Amino acid sequence: MVNVLTELKYLFKRFVLIANVLPGLLGFIMAARYYNRSFEDIWVDFILFLVGSAVLVAGALTLNNWLEADVDKLMERTKQRPSVTGSISLRAILILGISLSLVGQLLLLLINMEVAIFGFIGWYTYVVVYTVWTKRRVTWNTHVGSLSGAVTPMMGWAVIGSVFHPIPLTLFAIMFLWQMPHTYAIAIRKYEDYARSGLKMLPVVRGYQVTIRRTVVYMALLLIIPLFLTGFSNLFYILISLLNLGWLAIGIAGFKAHSIKKWANHLFASSLIYLLVVYLLYIVFLP
């Protein structure tokens, strides 16, 4: 049993799974508070969303393992995956990935069509557009991967209300822009792995200086997003602006960093703190 759980942990990329499901749950919580919905009235939809989104993401990640088995064996950070070790056959991984994806999509469809559509958009862009079409060919594959992650808070919000609202739309924009520096930091930290694998990550193809410039641009764009929100208190705008400026300063520090790897470590750690604080600010100051 322990061995099975260990294999599934590698197959589902445990922390990636959590990182994709959690923003959706926070989007759900925000919508429930914003629309004054009692948990007693929406607990069934909550369970369907929690299980459905987790299963759908697990399906997408499993299919990613199957599709990238050849390059995963070249990288230190992925060589323990069952698709590489052979502890689970590639055929079984493919069947599991398809099954989980279908079950997850069905559970989301039981909530409403909007949730299911955004769930499918996230799944399709990650599995097909990102993994199959772009990751091995172009450096802007990161943008596609960011799109799939950015829809998660919109999925959670869509359980309660329409996503055509400034709160979920700005969360989508923040998630999309945030993932670029976050992913670039990972690519720098794992430069040797990506260089061996042949995947078209920006630091490997274009170098560190181009990556730092792009990082700063996306971080600077985050300063604009709060301007599209209305109804929040002045303190919210002050705090999120200070947060954005502080994170931007970390990005700019990369231009004069003595060790790019060390800077990338700081950028990666700060990106996690940044996103957590953003969601806390949204929840605490929700109109």
What CATH code is carried by the domain that includes residue 265?
Answer: 1.20.120
Give the per-residue pLDDT at 158: 98
94, 225: one domain: no
Taking residue 224's Cβ as centre, other Cβ atoms within 10 Å add up to 11
d(CA 226, CA 166): 10
Q: Which residue has the tokens 């557009």?
A: 129
Give the per-residue pLDDT at 156: 98
Instruction: Please list the ranges in the chain whose pLDDT falls under 70.
Output: 1-2, 4
| Structural domain total, the chain | 2
Give the per-residue pLDDT at 7: 79
Q: Is the dihedral of CA 118, 52, 126, 18 positive or negative?
A: positive
Give the per-residue pLDDT at 2: 45
155, 185: one domain: no
The pair of structure tokens assigned to 35 is 């629309």
Give the per-residue pLDDT at 79: 85
131, 173: one domain: no
Query: Among residues 160, 177, 193, which one ends one of the domains?
Result: 160
pTM of the model: 0.94
Range of the domain at 60: 1-160
